[in-house]
């Protein structure tokens, strides 16, 4: 357990749009280049409305399952795959990344992309994962997915598009709410949801 | 460059409605600060009681914090699912001097003239939960200008833009986890959460750790701000000690004579789980310009 108390997060707010985006932020490699795919989806709120002011980050291994440690994400040279990208949703709540299918980091492991979600009105970032849909055996053996009931598990698995891309929507709230993750080992830190006793009367 | 990005952003967002519309609650009644303060107080009172009853202190903002109206439909209602970080999550993307120019940490030299306002230095260290420096990592900031106006088109506060201030900066932490920005003290600004809602002056900070699970976006505040008790975003952190961790300290040692006042603010990331190796403290070698 950590010795120092962590600094709290705060909402990204409404005005990140002139600060966090940068040129080719959502292009982990050039669109149309060999092996490139589109990862896209829509971000929804609890009423089923699209959210026009969310920003996502993805972090993933390369197509061989290697975890890349190369600089150059902010000033992309068009050739170096860094594994990290940032993408703002548009006015219709749709995000798009150009990336590669992540490889499994161990033989037989389920391949996934790590995702951080930020939005106006979202008090702290949320972590989640998006899994490739194909390897059913690997998905069945995945420690996280196998700890979820089937309805919730579905929210973490992308749909393969006819063009080879991936579609994966994010629902911040509701019956089909995306599974969001708490990585704190002692379970005491990111405990800020479900405080229903504090709902105003 | 941030300036180019700003132009693109301004053009592409002409049609976007103003920020923080009266959404998520359809009440026709105009909500006042007194209404909001009563809600904030009630939640604070219940938290104080829970502490007395032996509940451990909270360290993070509540995702479910209805006084910030825009959060009502944007927070998960199911508990976060515990997961052990695996593979990619135990690493962080690498950033270096290819990504960030040294001059990007000075927000007062991005244009031809000097920006208006009180020049300040904001500096500190990025540390993990064990106090180890987070070296060679990206820090990004953005903020309003001295009059409380963001350059973002969605900001319709009728305060002047400053042609000499964009309000965006970046740097890479040093081997000791240190960062430093030279900027202008931002002004408080009004927003539409409720009638007469004002945000305390703040600087948005975005940091990476040595693991992706340490990723944090937050806001740094200035000591003694009279708006703290009134602000639903600051108060979404219900624990006073935790809130205090977002407030920088005036530091006369950091103040530059006849130039700029200094504020010190350290950031503690959530604890690192991966075994630490000594060479990480030297950041990313081999990325010289």
Predicted ipTM of the assembly: 0.92
Contact A130, A159 (CB under 8 A): no
CB pair distance less than 8 Å for A181 and B81: yes
Cβ neighbours of B218 (radius 10 Å): 23
Tell me if chain B has a CB within 8 Å of the CB of A175. no
> What is the predicted pLDDT for the residue at B152?
82
C-alpha angle with apex A25: A20 to A26, nearest 5 degrees?
120
**pTM score, whole prediction:** 0.90
CA distance A9 to chain B (A): 4
Contact B234, B221 (CB under 8 A): yes
C-alpha angle with apex B69: B66 to B74, nearest 5 degrees?
80
Which residues of B are known to be catalytic? 150, 189, 199, 202, 204
- Residue A60 inside a domain? The answer is yes
Q: What is the CATH number of the domain that holds A153?
A: 2.60.130.10
- Residue A98 inside a domain? The answer is yes
Beta bridge partners of residue B179, listed in sequence order: B124
Q: For residue range B48-85, list pLDDT tens digits in order.
A: 999 999 999 999 999 999 999 999 999 999 999 999 99
Q: How far is CA B54 from CA A81, A84, B47, in A?
A: 49, 42, 11
Contact B62, B223 (CB under 8 A): no
- Residue A107 inside a domain? The answer is yes
Residue range(s) defining the domain that contains residue A42: 36-171
> What is the predicted pLDDT for the residue at A189?
42
C-alpha angle with apex A171: A166 to A172, nearest 5 degrees?
135
Count the domains in chain A.
Answer: 1
* Backbone dihedral angles phi then psi of residue B112, each to the nearest 5 degrees: -75, -30
Looking at chain B, how many residues does it have?
289
Q: For residue range A38-73, list pLDDT tens digits in order.
A: 999 999 999 999 999 999 999 999 999 999 999 999
Six-digit token string for B227: 């708006």
B284 contacts in chain A (CB < 8 Å): 69, 71
Instruction: List the domain boundaries for chain B.
Output: 100-268
In total, the C-beta contacts within 8 angstroms joining chain A to chain B are 314
CB pair distance less than 8 Å for A123 and B273: no
Q: How far is CA A52 from CA A42, A120, A197, B3, B9, in A?
A: 9, 9, 30, 23, 14
- Residue A7 inside a domain? The answer is no
Tell me if chain B has a CB within 8 Å of the CB of A47. yes
A181 contacts in chain B (CB < 8 Å): 80-83
Q: For residue range B221-251, list pLDDT tens digits in order.
A: 999 999 999 999 999 999 999 999 999 999 9
CA distance A73 to A82: 6
- Concatenating the DSSP letter of every residue in A50-67 gives BPSSEEEEEE---TTS--
* Strands B119-127 vs B178-184: parallel, antiparallel or unpaired: antiparallel
> What is the predicted pLDDT for the residue at A12?
98
CB pair distance less than 8 Å for A180 and B129: no
Which of A1, A2, A3, A10 has the highest number of chain B CBs within 10 A, making it the mutation to test binding with B?
Answer: A10
Contact B214, B227 (CB under 8 A): no
Query: Chunked in runs of 10, what are the mean pLDDT values of chain A (201 residues)?
Result: 87 95 97 96 98 98 96 94 98 98 96 98 98 97 96 97 98 97 63 40 31
Q: How far is CA B86 from CA A10, A65, A71, B173, B213, in A?
A: 25, 13, 22, 25, 10
Contact A55, A86 (CB under 8 A): yes
Fold of B100-268: Protocatechuate 3,4-Dioxygenase, subunit A (2.60.130)
> What is the predicted pLDDT for the residue at A201?
31
How would you write chain B as a 3-class SS string?
A: CHHHHHHHHHHHCCCCCCCCCCCCCCCCCCCCHHHHHHHHHHHHHHHHHHHHCCCCCCCCCCCCCCCCHHHCCCCCCCCCEECCCCHHHHCCCCCCCCCCCHHHHECCCCCCCCCCCCEEEEEEEEECCCCCECCCCEEEEEECCCCCCCCCCCCCCCCCCCCCCCCEEEEECCCCCEEEEEEECCCCEEECCCCCEEECCEEEEEECCCCHHHCEEEEEECCCCCCHHHCHHHHCCCCHHHHHCCECEECCCCCECCCEEEEECCEECCCCCCCCCHHHHHCCCCCCC
Q: For residue range B132-143, list pLDDT tens digits in order.
A: 999 999 999 999
Place of tokens 């903002």: B61
A91 contacts in chain B (CB < 8 Å): 15-16
User: DSSP character for A5?
Assistant: P
Six-digit token string for B9: 């952003």
Q: Which of B274 and A125 is assigned the larger pLDDT?
A: A125
> What is the predicted pLDDT for the residue at B176?
97
Candidates A196, A192, A172, A194; CA nearest to A46 is A172
Place of tokens 């009681």: B49
Candidates A6, A21, A28, A1; CA nearest to A118 is A21
Q: Is the pLDDT of residue B277 over 70?
A: no
């Amino acid at each position: 357990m950590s010795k120092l108390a962590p600094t709290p997060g705060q909402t990204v707010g409404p005005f990140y749009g002139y600060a966090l985006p940068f040129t080719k932020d959502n292009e982990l490699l050039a669109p149309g280049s060999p092996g490139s795919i589109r990862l896209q989806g829509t971000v929804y709120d609890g009423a089923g409305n699209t959210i026009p002011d969310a920003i996502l980050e993805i972090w993933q291994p390369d197509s061989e399952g290697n975890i890349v440690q190369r600089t150059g994400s902010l000033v992309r040279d068009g050739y170096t795959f860094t594994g990290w990208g940032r993408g703002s949703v548009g006015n219709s709540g749709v995000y798009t990344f150009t990336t590669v299918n992540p490889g499994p980091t161990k033989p037989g492991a389920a391949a996934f992309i790590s995702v951080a979600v930020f939005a106006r009105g979202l008090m702290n970032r949320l972590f989640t994962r998006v899994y490739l849909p194909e390897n059913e055996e690997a998905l069945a053996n995945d420690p996280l997915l196998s700890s979820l009931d089937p309805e919730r598990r579905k929210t973490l698995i992308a749909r393969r598009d006819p063009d080879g891309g991936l579609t994966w929507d994010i629902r911040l709230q509701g019956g089909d709410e995306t599974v969001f993750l708490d990585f704190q080992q002692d379970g005491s830190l990111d405990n800020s949801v479900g405080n229903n006793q504090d709902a105003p009367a | 460059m941030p300036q180019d990005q700003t132009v693109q952003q301004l053009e592409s967002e002409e049609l976007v409605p103003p920020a923080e519309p009266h959404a998520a609650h359809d009440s026709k009644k105009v909500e006042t600060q007194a209404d909001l303060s009563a809600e904030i107080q009630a939640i604070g009172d219940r938290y104080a009681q829970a502490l007395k009853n032996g509940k451990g202190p909270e360290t993070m903002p509540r995702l479910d914090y209805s006084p910030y109206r825009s959060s009502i439909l944007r927070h998960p209602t199911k508990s976060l699912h515990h997961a052990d970080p695996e593979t990619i999550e135990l690493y962080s993307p690498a950033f270096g001097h290819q990504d960030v120019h040294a001059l990007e940490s000075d927000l007062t030299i991005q244009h031809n003239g000097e920006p208006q306002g009180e020049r300040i230095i904001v500096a500190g260290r990025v540390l993990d939960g064990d106090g180890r420096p987070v070296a060679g990592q990206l820090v990004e900031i953005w903020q309003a200008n001295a009059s409380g106006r963001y350059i973002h088109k969605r900001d319709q506060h009728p305060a002047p833009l400053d042609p000499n201030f964009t309000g965006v900066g970046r740097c890479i932490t040093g081997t000791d986890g240190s960062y430093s920005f030279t900027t202008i003290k931002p002004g408080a600004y009004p927003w539409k959460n409720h009638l007469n809602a004002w945000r305390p002056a703040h600087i948005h900070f975005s940091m990476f750790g040595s693991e992706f699970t340490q990723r944090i976006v937050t806001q740094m505040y200035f000591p003694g701000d009279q708006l703290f008790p009134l602000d639903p975003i600051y108060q979404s952190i219900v624990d006073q000690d935790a809130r205090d961790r977002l407030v920088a300290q005036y530091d006369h040692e950091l103040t530059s004579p006849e130039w700029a006042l200094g504020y010190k603010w350290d950031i503690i990331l959530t604890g690192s789980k991966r075994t630490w190796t000594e060479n990480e403290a030297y950041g990313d070698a081999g990325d010289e310009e």
